Amino acid sequence: MGSAGSHAIAYNAGARTVMCSAGTHTMMCSAGAHTATCSAGAQIVMSSAGSHTITCNAGAHTVTCSAGTHTMTYSAGAHTVTGSAESHTITGRAGAHTVTCSAGTHTVMCNAGAHTAMGCARGHIVMGNEKHTLTCSAGTHTVMCSAGTHTVTCSAGAHTGMCSAGTHTMTYNAGAHTVMGSAESHTITGSVGTHTVMCSAGAHIVMGNAGSHTITGSAGPHTVTCYAGTHIVTCSARVHTVMGSGKHTMTCSAGAHMVRSTAGAHTVKGKRGSHTITGSAGAHIVTCHAWTLIITCSARVHTVMGSGKHTMTCSAGAHMVRSTAGAHTVKGKRGSHTITGSAGAHTVTCQAGTHIVTCSARVHTVMGSGEHTLTCSAGALTVRCSAGAHTLKGAHTVTCSAGTHTETYSAGAHTVTGSVESHTITGSAGAHTVTCSAGTHTVMCNAGAHTAMGCARGHNVMGNEKHTLTCSAGTNTVMCSAGTHTVTCNAGAHTVMGSAESHTITGSAGAHTVMCSAGAHTAIGSARAHILMGNEKHTLTCSAGTHTVMCSAGTHTMTCSAGAHTMTCSA
C-alpha cells in the first residue's frame, strides 16, 4: 500500500496486490499475478508476463503490459495503455485515452472522451463513443462506435463495425468486413475483400475495391464506389451516387441517384427521382421511371427504357433506346442505334454508324453522321447530317458537317449549317441563316434577308476553326469563335467580334468596330473611323482617320498614323 507521495516500486515473480493513493507512482511488475489499484495522481505501471488486474482512478496514467492476460479499468483522466501479445480487457471512462494493442485478443471499451485505439494482429473488440481514432491491423475485429466522431482503419482480417449516431470514417483493407452505420455521416473505404455495408439515415460515402460487396443504404445522401467484383447496391430515398465496375445489380428508389458503372454487366432500376447513370463497356439494362434522368453508355450493348426527362449518351456499340413521353436528349456514337422517341422534345445526336431515328410529335433535333433514316412526324424539326447517305422526311432545319455538299433552297425560311469540308450553298428568295464552321465555304445568297458570309447587303457571319472571311460593301457583322481567323472588310460599316485564338482583321475605308477577347490579334484599319477593343496580346495598326482604341489586360503594340486617336489601356 502506497499512500500520498512519490513511489518507485519493483516487484519480481510472484502474486502481488498493490494499492496506491494520491501521488506519483512507478510500478514495475515482472512475472506473476498482480493486482494494482491506483487512485488520483500520475501513475506509471509496467507489467511483464503474467496475469494483471489494474484499476486506475482519476489522474494521468501510463500502463504498459507485455505478455499475459490483463484487465484494466480507467476512470476520468488521461490514460495511455500499451498492451502486447495475449489477451487484454481495457475499460476507459471519461478522459483522453490512447490504447495500443499488439498481437492477441483485446477488448477495449471507451466512454466519453478522446480516445486513440490501435490494434495489431489477432482479434480485437473495440467499443466507444465520443472522438475515437481506431486502427486495427491483421486479425478479426469487432468495432462498435456510438455517438461521437470516429476514425477507424482496419487492415487484413475479418472485421465487424457497428457505428451509431456520430460522424465516422472507416477504412478497411484486405479481408471480410461488415459495417453497419446508423444516422449521421459515415465514410467507409473497403479494399480487396468481401464487404457488407448497411447505412441508415445520414450522409454516407462507401468505397469498395475488388471483391464482393453488398451495400444497402436507406434515407440519406450516399456515395458508393465499387470496383471490380460483384456488387449489389440498394438505395432508398434521398440522394445517392453509385460508381463501380464489375457485375452490378442496382436498385434505386425515390430520390436523386447517380450511377456510374464501368466494365461488366449491369442492371440498373431507378424509380421516381433524378438519376445520373454512366455505364461503360458491358451489357447494360437501364429502366428509369418518371423524373429527370441522365444516362451515358459506352461500348457494348445497351437497352435504355424510361419515361420523364432523359439525357442519354451512347458510345460505340449497339444501342436500343426507347423513350416515352417527356423531354429527351440522346447522343449515340459509333455503332448501330435504334432510337424511338414518342411525344416530347427530343435531341438525337448520332455519329458514324447506321442509325434509325423515329420521332413523333413535339420538337426534335437530330444530328448525326453515317447512314441515317430519319422519320419525323408532326412538330418542329431540326436535322443535322454529316458525311453519309441520308434520307430526310419532314420540314427541316439542316446542318451538314464532314463531306462535300451542294444544297439549293427555294423560297421559304431555311437554316443551313455547314462544318468541315467544302460547301457550296445557294439560297434564293427567302430568309436564310448560314453558319459555316471548319472548312472552305462558298455562300451565295440572292434576294431576301440573309445571314451569310461574303456577299453584298447585310451579313451576319459566324464560324470557328480556320476561316477566311471576306465581306464586301454593305453592313456586316462578323463573329468568330475559337480558331485562327482572317477577316477582311471592305467599304461600309463593320462590326467584328473575335474570341480566343489568333485573328487578323483588316478593315478598309468605313466605320469599324473590332472587339477581340483573349488571344493574339492583329487589327489593321485604314482611313475613316475605327473603334478597337481587346485584351491579351494585340498588334493594332491604325492609318489616317479617327480611332478609339481600348485595350484591357495584356501586351499591346499600337501604331497610329495621321488622324485623331483616343487610346485607353487598362492593366
pLDDT tens profile 275-331 = 455 555 555 556 555 444 555 555 555 566 555 555 555 555 555 565 554 555 555
- Band of the pLDDT at 359, cuts 50, 70, 90? low
- Band of the pLDDT at 560, cuts 50, 70, 90? confident
Higher-pLDDT residue of 540, 457: 540
Contact call for residues 514 and 531 (beta carbons, < 8 A):
yes
Tens-place pLDDT, residues 414-467 = 445 444 334 444 444 344 455 544 444 444 433 333 343 333 333 444 443 344
DSSP lists the bridge partners of residue 545 as: 563
Tens-place pLDDT, residues 84-94 = 444 455 555 44
Nearest partner of 104 among 70, 81, 73, 55, judged by Cα: 70
Within a domain: residue 322?
no
Within a domain: residue 220?
yes
Kindly calculate the radius of gyration of the chain based on its CA atoms and give it in whole angstroms: 37
Query: Of 306, 336, 371, which residue is a domain's last?
Result: 306
Cα separations in angstroms, 414 against 298, 410, 444: 35, 9, 14
Q: Grid coordinates 447522343 are at which residue? A: 331
Q: Which of 45-49, 148-152, 311-315, 378-382 has the lowest mean pLDDT?
A: 378-382
Question: What is the full DSSP assignment across 343-399?
Answer: SEEEEEEE-SEEEEEEE-SS-EEEEE-SEEEEEE-SS-EEEEE-SS-EEEESS--EE
Domain that holds residue 477: 459-569
Within a domain: residue 521?
yes
DSSP state of 315: -
Query: Of 255, 286, 306, which residue is a domain's last?
Result: 306
Higher-pLDDT residue of 422, 35: 35
C-alpha cell at 245: 465496375
DSSP lists the bridge partners of residue 434 as: 416
Q: Which of 245-254, 328-337, 387-396 has the lowest mean pLDDT?
A: 387-396
pLDDT at 167 over 70: no
* pLDDT value, residue 460: 43
Cα(203)–Cα(514) distance, integer angstroms: 53
Cα(447)–Cα(336) distance, integer angstroms: 42
pLDDT at 554 over 60: yes
Q: Which of 280-284, 409-413, 544-548 has the lowest mean pLDDT?
A: 409-413
Cα(61)–Cα(42) distance, integer angstroms: 5
* pLDDT value, residue 466: 42
* pLDDT value, residue 126: 59
Q: What's the CA angle centered on 8, arms 5 and 9, to 5 degrees? A: 115
Query: Of 265, 285, 306, which residue is a domain's last?
Result: 306
Tens-place pLDDT, residues 318-347 = 555 655 545 555 555 555 455 555 555 556
Tens-place pLDDT, residues 176-229 = 555 655 545 555 555 554 455 655 455 555 555 445 445 555 555 555 655 555
- CA 507 from chain centre, in angstroms, equals 46
DSSP state of 402: S
Within a domain: residue 542?
yes
pLDDT more than 90, % of the chain: 0
Cα(534)–Cα(497) distance, integer angstroms: 10
* pLDDT value, residue 382: 54
Burial (CB < 10 A; 0-12, 13-18, 19+), residue 394, is: middle
Q: Which of 11-20, 44-53, 98-107 has the lowest mean pLDDT?
A: 11-20
Within a domain: residue 390?
no
- Band of the pLDDT at 376, cuts 50, 70, 90? very low
* pLDDT value, residue 440: 43
Average pLDDT, the chain: 53
Within a domain: residue 268?
yes
* pLDDT value, residue 558: 74
Q: Specify the 3-state DSSP secondary structure of 318.
A: strand
Tens-place pLDDT, residues 482-518 = 445 556 555 555 555 555 555 556 565 566 666 666 5
- CA 109 from chain centre, in angstroms, equals 39
Burial (CB < 10 A; 0-12, 13-18, 19+), residue 308, is: buried
DSSP lists the bridge partners of residue 493 as: 475, 511
Within a domain: residue 505?
yes
* pLDDT value, residue 451: 40
- Band of the pLDDT at 19, cuts 50, 70, 90? low
Within a domain: residue 167?
no
What's the structural domain count of the chain? 2
pLDDT more than 70, % of the chain: 1
